[in-house]
C-alpha cells in the first residue's frame, strides 16, 4: 500500500514540475510559435499572420475607392518627403516632373477603337519622374554629336544595332527638313530603337504604357490632361491636332486655324493645358513611343490576373502584331486619337513624321542622386561636375 502511495506522489510531483518549470522554458524558445525568415534577418512583417506557403491569393484587390483618398496619398507623400517635385536630368538637360505612386483608372468605357481600351481598370504604379516635354530636336542633336549613331554601340540594344545597320539609319528620317527642324520642336522620324538608344545615352528609360497614361490623366481617369483646371471637355486650342477643314478653301483648309500649328509645334506650347503633374502636350503634337509591346487583349489579361494590376508592362512581342504601343495622338490626328486612353501602335522600325517620345526615371534613382547631392553639399567642394552624367535637383518649382 505504501509502495502505491509513493508511486502516486512521485507521478504527481513529476506532473507539477513539468507544468510549472519545463513547459514555460520550451515555450520561451518558440516566440509566438511563428517561424522566422532567416533572409529577413529575424525581421517579421506586420502582416505576418498568414504563414501558409500557399498564399498566392494574397495579392490585394484594388481598393474599392480609387486612390488617392487623401489619407493614403498623404501617407505616400510622408514616406517620400525627400523627393522633390521636379528634377533636372543634366545629361540631356531635361526637366522632369514627379508622379507619385498610386492606383489610377486607365482605359475607357467608350466602345470605339476596337475595344482595346477595355475594360476600364484600376492599376497601381510606383512613383517615377517623367520628362515635362517630349524630347526635342536640340536634345537629339546632342545625342548625335556624342556619336549616337556611330561607334557607340553600347547605347544600342543588340536588336536595335542590327536594325540600324541593316536599315542604314544614320540620322532621323526628316533630319534637315525645315518643317521639323526647330530646336524646340519634338524630334520625329525616329524608330523605337533610336528612342531606346537615346534613352540609354541620357541615362533614362522609356515610360511603360501605364506610367504614361497616369502621367497624362491623373489618378481619376480624366478624359483629357487639362481636366484639372479646365473641366473635362475637348478644347480646340489646348493641343496640336489635325484641325484641318476639308470644306474650307485656300489657306483656311490648313491645319492650324484653331490650335495655331499646321505641323509639329514647339514642345513648350500649351503649357497651361498640362497634365495634373505638369507634363506638357500629353495630348497631340506627336505620338509617343512607350516600352510595351502591343497586345490588343492586354487589358483583359490584366483584369484576369491580379498580379498584373501593379506596374503592368507587356514585355512579350506579338507574333502576328509585333508592334510597340503609341500614346497621345499627334498633329495630324483627330481629337479622339488625342485622348490619353487611346491605344495605338506601330512597327518598332517605323520612322514616321508624327512619332516622337519622352523618358522617365524611377523615383529610386532620383532618391539616390538626391542623397548623394546632400552628402556633397555637406562637404565644401568647388568642382563643377556639369559635364558628368549625373543629375541635380532643379531649383525651379
- Binding residues vs Ca ion (CB under 5 A): 240, 243, 255-256, 259, 261
Closest to Ca ion by CB, 89 vs 240, is 240
Q: Which three cell numbers stand for residue 76?
A: 505616400
Closest to Ca ion by CB, 239 vs 279, is 239
Backbone angle region of 32, left / alpha / beta, with phi > 0 → left and psi within -120 to 50 → alpha: left
Report which residue's Cβ sits closest to Ca ion.
255
Smallest distance from Ca ion to CB 157, Å: 34
Closest to Ca ion by CB, 197 vs 269, is 269
293, β-bridge pairs: 324
Smallest distance from Ca ion to CB 242, Å: 6
Closest to Ca ion by CB, 122 vs 337, is 337
Q: Which three cell numbers stand for residue 59?
A: 495579392
Beta carbons of 239 and 288 less than 8 angstroms apart? no
Smallest distance from Ca ion to CB 192, Å: 25
Smallest distance from Ca ion to CB 275, Å: 19
Q: What is the DSSP letter of 306?
A: G
What is the rounded distance in angstroms from the CA atom of residue 91 to the CA atom of residue 34?
50
Closest to Ca ion by CB, 67 vs 270, is 270
Closest to Ca ion by CB, 202 vs 330, is 330
Smallest distance from Ca ion to CB 339, Å: 16
Smallest distance from Ca ion to CB 243, Å: 5
Helix (H) or strand (E) holding 345: strand 344-346
Which residue shows C-alpha cell 532643379? 394
What is the rounded distance in angstroms from the CA atom of residue 199 to the CA atom of residue 209?
16
| Helices 192-202 + 158-166 axis angle, to 10 | 130
Which residue in 193, 153, 155 sits closest to 322, CA to CA?
Answer: 193
Amino acid at each position: 500500500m505504501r509502495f502505491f502511495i509513493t508511486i502516486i506522489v512521485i507521478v504527481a510531483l513529476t506532473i507539477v514540475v513539468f507544468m510549472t518549470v519545463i513547459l514555460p522554458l520550451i515555450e520561451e524558445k518558440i516566440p509566438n510559435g511563428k517561424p522566422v525568415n532567416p533572409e529577413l534577418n529575424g525581421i517579421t512583417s506586420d502582416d505576418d499572420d498568414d504563414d501558409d506557403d500557399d498564399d498566392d491569393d494574397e495579392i490585394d484587390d484594388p481598393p474599392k475607392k480609387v486612390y488617392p483618398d487623401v489619407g493614403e496619398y498623404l501617407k505616400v507623400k510622408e514616406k517620400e518627403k525627400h523627393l522633390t517635385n521636379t528634377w533636372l536630368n543634366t545629361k540631356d538637360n531635361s526637366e522632369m516632373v514627379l508622379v507619385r505612386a498610386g492606383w489610377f483608372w486607365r482605359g475607357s468605357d467608350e466602345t470605339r477603337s476596337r475595344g482595346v481600351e477595355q475594360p476600364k481598370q484600376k492599376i497601381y504604379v510606383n512613383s517615377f519622374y517623367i520628362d515635362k516635354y517630349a524630347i526635342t530636336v536640340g536634345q537629339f542633336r546632342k545625342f548625335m554629336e556624342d556619336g549616337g549613331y556611330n561607334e557607340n554601340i553600347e547605347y544600342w540594344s543588340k536588336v536595335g544595332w542590327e536594325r540600324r545597320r541593316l536599315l542604314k539609319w544614320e540620322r532621323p528620317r526628316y533630319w534637315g527638313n525645315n518643317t521639323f527642324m526647330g530646336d524646340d520642336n519634338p524630334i520625329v522620324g525616329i524608330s523605337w530603337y533610336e528612342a531606346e538608344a537615346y534613352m540609354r545615352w541620357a541615362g533614362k528609360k522609356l515610360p511603360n504604357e501605364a506610367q504614361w497614361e497616369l502621367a497624362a490623366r491623373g489618378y481619376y481617369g480624366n478624359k483629357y490632361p487639362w481636366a484639372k483646371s479646365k473641366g473635362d471637355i475637348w478644347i480646340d486650342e489646348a493641343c496640336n491636332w489635325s484641325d484641318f477643314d476639308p470644306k474650307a478653301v485656300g489657306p483656311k483648309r490648313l491645319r492650324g486655324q484653331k490650335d495655331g500649328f499646321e505641323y509639329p509645334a514647339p514642345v513648350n506650347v500649351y503649357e497651361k493645358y498640362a497634365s495634373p503633374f505638369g507634363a506638357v502636350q500629353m495630348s497631340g503634337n506627336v505620338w509617343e513611343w512607350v516600352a510595351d509591346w502591343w497586345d490588343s487583349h492586354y487589358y483583359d489579361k490584366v483584369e484576369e490576373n491580379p498580379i498584373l494590376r501593379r506596374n503592368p508592362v507587356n514585355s512579350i512581342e506579338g507574333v502576328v502584331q509585333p508592334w510597340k504601343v503609341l500614346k497621345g495622338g499627334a498633329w495630324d490626328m483627330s481629337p479622339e486619337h488625342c485622348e490619353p486612353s487611346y491605344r495605338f501602335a506601330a512597327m518598332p522600325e517605323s520612322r514616321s513624321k508624327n512619332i516622337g517620345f519622352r523618358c522617365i526615371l524611377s523615383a529610386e534613382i532620383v532618391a539616390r542622386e538626391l542623397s548623394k547631392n546632400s552628402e556633397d553639399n555637406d562637404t565644401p567642394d568647388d568642382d563643377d561636375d556639369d559635364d558628368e552624367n549625373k543629375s541635380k535637383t532643379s531649383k525651379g518649382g
